[in-house]
């Protein structure tokens, strides 16, 4: 894989998709429909999906592509693939809360090696560079990368003073019970894959998810977190999260800075 070209193309497509999304987000009104699983979908999801899918297929026709909005791609099986959530956090988008992202990732042998997470309403752009390190780029964003800063997890977080981040739209009692087993100094909430990025930058130390997610929800954020020195493991046995699973459904998981001492269930 030409990682220089891959990183540049993923960044370009994420920014272009973000521009399309914001055109609809800033409109007076937009239609919200329900998919077969009752999750919401908008014209922004579909426009971003079409743009990203067309760009990736043109640039990397030899690599399998899985996208949330194209059900036909969900039947694919491959060890190497690109995976896309064109608008992660549609509920945040619909409620105009700003915590939505564009997610694009490259997976090889079950591991998300490269990824980009772009939060257009917040002006935050995170991605892995060609060598696998994670950075945050400062806006305004142009055709060529601007000023970037390396990001990294908190090197030695104290279990007595953890910052925990949890889902804004999918919080439940099981998650709260698990978080209560840590002596957290504070807790914040965020939508979409931004939670991975907050751990990656050291703004949080621990993100547990005890709920249903799909691989397109997590792969890009997982790649950014890994490139920043963090980890994502299954909730049940603390083994590394893998990708390319049948149906692309994730188990419950924990994303964290390695210095965190995980509580056994």
| Residue 14 predicted with pLDDT over 70 | yes
* Candidate CATH numbers 3.30.465.10, 3.60.10.10, 3.30.540.10, 1.20.1300.10; the one for domain 3-150: 3.30.540.10
What pLDDT does residue 157 have? 75
The residue written with tokens 């149906």 in the block is: 247
pLDDT for residue 170 is more than 70: no
Asked whether residue 149 carries a pLDDT value surpassing 80, the answer given is yes
Confidence of residue 53 (pLDDT cuts 50, 70, 90): very high
Report pLDDT for 101. Answer: 97
Identify the CATH number of the domain defined by range 162-256. Answer: 3.40.190.80
pLDDT digits (tens, 9 = 90+) for 183-219: 888 988 888 899 999 999 999 999 999 999 999 999 9
Q: Mind giving me the DSSP string for 198-242?
A: HHHTTS-SEEEE-S--BHHHHHHHHHHHHHTT-EEEETTT-PBP-
pTM of the model: 0.94
pLDDT for the residue numbered 222: 98
Residues of the chain with CATH 3.30.540.10: 3-150
In this predicted structure, the answer to whether residue 239 has a pLDDT above a threshold of 90 is: yes
Q: What is the mean pLDDT of the chain?
A: 92
Q: Where in the chain is the domain with CATH 3.40.190.80?
A: 162-256
């Amino acid at each position: 894989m030409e990682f220089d070209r891959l990183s540049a193309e993923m960044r370009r497509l994420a920014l272009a998709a973000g521009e399309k999304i914001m055109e609809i987000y800033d409109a007076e009104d937009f239609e919200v429909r329900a998919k077969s699983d009752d999750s919401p979908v908008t014209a922004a999801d579909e426009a971003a999906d079409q743009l990203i899918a067309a760009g990736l297929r043109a640039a990397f026709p030899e690599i399998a592509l899985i996208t949330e909005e194209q059900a036909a791609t969900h039947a694919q099986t491959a060890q190497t693939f690109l995976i896309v959530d064109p608008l992660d956090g549609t509920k945040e988008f619909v409620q105009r809360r700003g915590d939505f992202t564009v997610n694009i990732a490259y997976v090889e042998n079950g591991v998300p090696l490269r990824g980009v997470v772009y939060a257009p309403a917040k002006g935050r752009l995170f991605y892995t560079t060609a060598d696998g390190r994670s950075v945050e780029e400062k806006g305004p964003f142009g055709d060529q990368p601007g000023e970037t800063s390396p990001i990294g997890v908190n090197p030695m977080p104290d279990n007595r003073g953890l910052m925990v981040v949890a889902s804004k739209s999918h919080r439940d009692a099981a998650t709260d019970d698990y978080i209560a087993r840590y002596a957290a100094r504070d807790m914040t909430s965020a939508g979409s894959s931004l939670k991975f990025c907050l751990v990656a930058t050291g703004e949080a130390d621990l993100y547990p998810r005890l709920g249903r997610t799909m691989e397109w929800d997590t792969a890009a954020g997982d790649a950014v977190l890994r490139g920043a020195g963090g980890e994502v493991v299954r909730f049940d046995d603390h083994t590394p999260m893998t990708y390319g699973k049948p149906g692309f459904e994730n188990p419950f998981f924990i994303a964290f800075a390695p210095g965190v001492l995980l509580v056994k269930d």
